[in-house]
Amino acid sequence: MPDHRRARPYALLTALLLPLSLCAQSVLPQTKAYEVPESWRRPVQPFQVAERTWYVGTEGLSALVVKTDDGAVLVDGGMPQAAPMLLEHLQSIGIAPGDVQLILHSHAHADHAGPLAALRRATGATVASNAESAALLARGGSDDIHYGDAIQFPPVTADRLVQDGETIELGGVAFTAHFTPAHTPGSLSWTWTDTREGRPVSIAYADSLSAPDYRLLDNPRYPRIVEDYRRGFDRVRALPCDILIAPHPGGVGWNPGRHGQPAPRTGFVHRLRRQGRGRVRRRARKAARGPRLMPYTPIVATLGFVLSPDRKQVLMVHRNARQDDHQLGKYNGLGGKIEPDEDVLAGMRREIHEEAGIDCEELVLRGTVSWPGFGKHGEDWLGFVFVVTRFAGTPFERNLEGTLEWVPVDRLDDLPMWEGDRHFLPMVFDDDPRPFHGVMPYRDGRMVSWRYSRA
C-alpha cells in the first residue's frame, strides 16, 4: 500500500510552539465567533491515566494520547485554538509531532474536533471517522442538524472511515469504534485496553449523551432522533469499562484540574443512561402533548439543600458545565423534575442520588415555591423545597451540571444565584418549623414579585 501520509512541517511547528512555552498553562483565548466557558480553555498539566494513556486536554474538554510501540494515537482535541497547547503537551511527555500516527474523535463539534485540521497538518497523522461525522468534519461544522452555522471550525478531511465495531490496531493497542448516536448522528465512542498498577484495564471514551435544546419530535432534519438516542444509550451502557472518560469530563463527575486519574466508575455509565433516557422521554412527551387548555400546568420539581454533619455548610452545584445552560454561572441546590410514576419525596431522593451520589437518610419539607414564567421559554414551575439533614455516602465533586461545592450557610448570600432565591433561602434554614408557600412570577428571566405565607 502506498504511503499516503503528508509531509510534516517541523519548522512551522517550532515557530508555533516557542511563544506558548513561555505560558503553557495560561487560559486559551476565546474565539471571535462564539464564547465558551473558561474551564474549556484552561490547560491541565499532562498526567497519566494508565501506563500508555495520558490526559493532555483542558479542565473542561478532554484530549487523550495513547503511546503505542509504533507511535502515538490522539483522541479528540478540544477547541480550535487548542492546537499549539496540545502539541506542546505532547512534546512535554516525549511525543514529537511526527510520532502521532492516528487521530480519533468523538463527535464533530467545534469543542472537540476544532483543532483536528491543524493537528493533521502538523503531524501528518491519519484522521479516522465514520461516514456521518466525516461529512460534518469536511464542512467544518456548517449546516449542523441542530446548530446550523453557529459553531463552525476549520474543516478537516477524514483519511479513513470506520464501521461500527471495527478495530484499528497500532503498536499492540487495538482501538474499537462504537457508533453511539445521541448528541450527534455520527457520535463515536472508543474503547481500548491498557495497564494500570500491573493489571489490564478497559478504557471507555464514551461520547456525549446530552440533547441541549434539540428538537426531539417531528424534526424534519432528523426524523428518527429519539430512536437513535435510545440506541446510543444502550450502546454506551454496553461498553467494556473499567475507566470511564468523556469528551466533557464533568459529564461523568470528573474534574481533571482537581484530581488526577479517573476512578473506575462503571456505575456512572448506567446512571448516565437512566438520566439521558429520562430527559429525552420527558421532552418528547411534552412536545407530543402540545398546548393545554388548563390555565396553569406547571412543571413539578424538587429542590434540595444537603447540610453537612455539623449543619454549618450546604452542598451547592455551581452550574458551569454547559454553555447552553439556562442557569450558567449560578449556584443552586440539587433537584429536578418529578417522574410520572413517583411521589415528590421519592423524586427528591432520586435526584440527589443521581446528582450527588449520596443517599438521603433524613430530609424535611421546608416549603413550596410557584415560579410562573420561570423557564427558559416561559414555562411555569412548581418546586418542593427540602433540607437534607442526614445522608450516606461521599458526594461527587462534579455532575452533569457543574461543580459540587460545600458552602457555609451564612455565606450563601455572597454567591451568584437567581435573585429570587435570596428571598426564600433564609426561610429554608431558619428555626421556624412551619413550611412556607410562596409565589414568585418571572418575566424575561427576571423576578417580578414575591409573596408567601406560613401556616
The per-residue pLDDT for range 419-428, each reduced to its tens digit, is 889 999 999 9
Alpha helices in 377-442 (DSSP H): 421-429
Active-site residue among 214, 229, 331, 442? 214
Active-site residue among 89, 146, 183, 318? 183
CA dihedral 358, 211, 319, 252 (to 10 degrees): 40
Residue 112 has what pLDDT? 97
Active site residue 318: no
Q: How far apart are CA 110 and CA 64, in angstroms?
A: 17
Active site residue 270: no
Active-site residue among 89, 105, 109, 178? 109
Identify which of 184, 224, 229, 188 has the alpha carbon closest to the alpha carbon of residue 206.
188
pLDDT digits (tens, 9 = 90+) for 102-140: 999 999 999 999 999 999 999 999 999 999 999 999 999
Residue 319 has what pLDDT? 92
Q: How far apart are CA 248 and CA 302, in angstroms?
A: 26
β-pairing, 446-447 vs 71-75, is unpaired
| Residue located via cell numbers 503537551 | 89
The answer to whether 317 and 399 have CB atoms below 8 angstroms apart is: yes
Residue 104 has what pLDDT? 98
Residue 205 has what pLDDT? 97
Active-site residue among 89, 105, 112, 178? 112
Active-site residue among 89, 105, 107, 318? 107
Active site residue 183: yes
Question: In which region does residue 423 sit, left (phi positive, over 0), alpha (psi from -120 to 50) or beta (all else)?
Answer: alpha
User: Which parts of the chain sit beneath pLDDT 50?
Assistant: 1-24, 264, 266-267, 288-294
Active site residue 146: no
Residue 296 has what pLDDT? 75
Active site residue 326: no
Active site residue 213: no
Active site residue 109: yes
